[in-house]
Chain A
């Protein structure tokens, strides 16, 4: 067992094996990893390295075949589907590459979703969702449908949704993959701000070295194992990068 010194995530010799017919794939091979509360970690690796599997296990979307995974000292490796859903609801905030907002449902209601499943009452749900939207800089977009929002705005709504239930970790899977350079930096700026101001634990899965450099620690995964785990030497500060970028006049559809 690993030390418990403030570790939000403790992965202890986790193995994940997929069996598809006759083919057996070892996605993770006795991988161990520990992430402290308040850390900003980037997980990198080529496709097929097992980083997606690792992300699914960290996000409680999947269970290890062998080994244990503790999220806030709670062993999730033996949980059933309902308990895993509850854990995702209370402890994990997801941000996806393709935003994954529920279509034809307003930004506010999208942000309210985790609270709805947590059983939070209507009035409080509203208040907290509005707060979360303000946190990501979209206080006046509550009523907009996802289709009426730009990519950057959609990703910010997704971020607000990830934040709203005060999770233990925010798990972002290629959060800038579908965004242009400036918007990407803007999103990373929010991540960095949340990490610093609210001491949120943030895990970003990416294959872009530029994006990984906004984190304070980079974990490389290869062949189902951790190939390197190092602090970032020259960390990028998104707010400064933004200043250096030319200001783009917002497109018309940005303002409806």
Chain B
């Protein structure tokens, strides 16, 4: 008896109870589509985050002021001013393998141009920002070292700010006001997009000296954080230890005392976020996998009902010469067809759900072949696993009893 004949018998048996077959496959459909959607969305998120981290450059280090211990009590990071411009300059001057450093000072303020205004997120930095952040200007140019030295009132706009304050205009060369001070727009940064709803383009950049001297009420020499670019990705972890040693020395920290700064290595961040997202994806996928299991139990249930209902038919088939193994194969095929139909439909639904999600939230879609292969083989395996017992029960029937069954 060839496979096609077995398949046809199975398909016909399932077609006899269309509603029941459809409801049974629904369990598998939901399970498989959930697995596919979850894994795809999870991988999309991973890809997205990875891409954003890579856009920072994986040889990037962040140095931030850390906890300052005063009299045994931890003073919070926000209040700490343990990182100074001199520290940053020392890092660049004294350490080999550092391509550049860029201090970061954050401030806020209202920006006004004509009758437009926008609440600005101001980053004060130096001219190395474009190279270290791997972020070029789309129009105009970035400010120069001379601007930093002279703390000039120049400003580079993020794409969002440019669109809000200068709708339909080229902002380069225009004069705008920040906290009632006149600034000249020298450039507009390239569009970067958003991370989890956080718009990276909603920012403006100006020399950190300008922030220190013009925008802050009192002269503060400490800085919010510093970005350090190592010459290579490998050099990043070496640079991390070197920076740590240097800063401990400069801050005169005794050997048994903790650091008063923190260093974040971009590749560590990448690894950590990949791990978190990986765990999240796994978690979601296993919840989805449980629903796939439940779907499998549904198949087993309906196959048991089907075997009981068709006891007499099984008896007839045995009487005309069907071997027990044929009967087993027939019922096994039915459950596999059920779960495969569910698997394929689930794949389509899960794939489209992931695609719709990605489209709506502007994420990269990654309906991975792996997820498809896993869902496909998983649903077949479920068909075999949950179909075997009912099929075995059918094959074990005694033809005489089965023929007598009412």
Contact = CB atoms under 8 A, between A and B. Distances in A.
A and B pair up: yes
Interface of A: 56, 59, 61-62, 81-82, 85-86, 88-90, 94, 96, 100-105, 113-114, 116-119, 122, 161, 165
Interface in B297-330: 312-313, 315-326
Interface in B1-56: 1-2, 5, 12, 16
B1 A117 contact: yes
Contacts of B2: 119
A43 to B, nearest CB: 17
Contact of A56 (B315, B321, B323, B400): B400
Contacts of A90: 321
A61 B399 contact: yes
Most chain A Cβ neighbours within 10 Å, of B16, B317, B323: B323
- 6 smallest CB-CB distances across A and B, nearest first, come from A89-B321, A85-B323, A117-B321, A114-B320, A82-B323, A100-B316
Nearest to B322: A117
A85 B403 contact: no
Interface residues of B: mostly helix, strand, loop or mixed? Answer: helix
A119 B319 CA distance: 16
Interface residues of B, number: 22
Contacts of B325: 82
B323 A86 contact: yes
A242 to B, nearest CB: 29
Interface of B: 1-2, 5, 12, 16, 312-313, 315-326, 399-400, 403
A116 B330 CA distance: 13
A102 B313 contact: yes
A105 B5 CA distance: 14
B12 A105 contact: yes
Contacts of A62: 400
Given A116-B1, A117-B1, A117-B326, A89 B400 contact: no
Contacts of B318: 85, 88
Nearest to B5: A116
Given A102-B316, A105-B12, A118 B321 contact: yes
Given A113-B317, A117-B1, A96 B323 contact: no
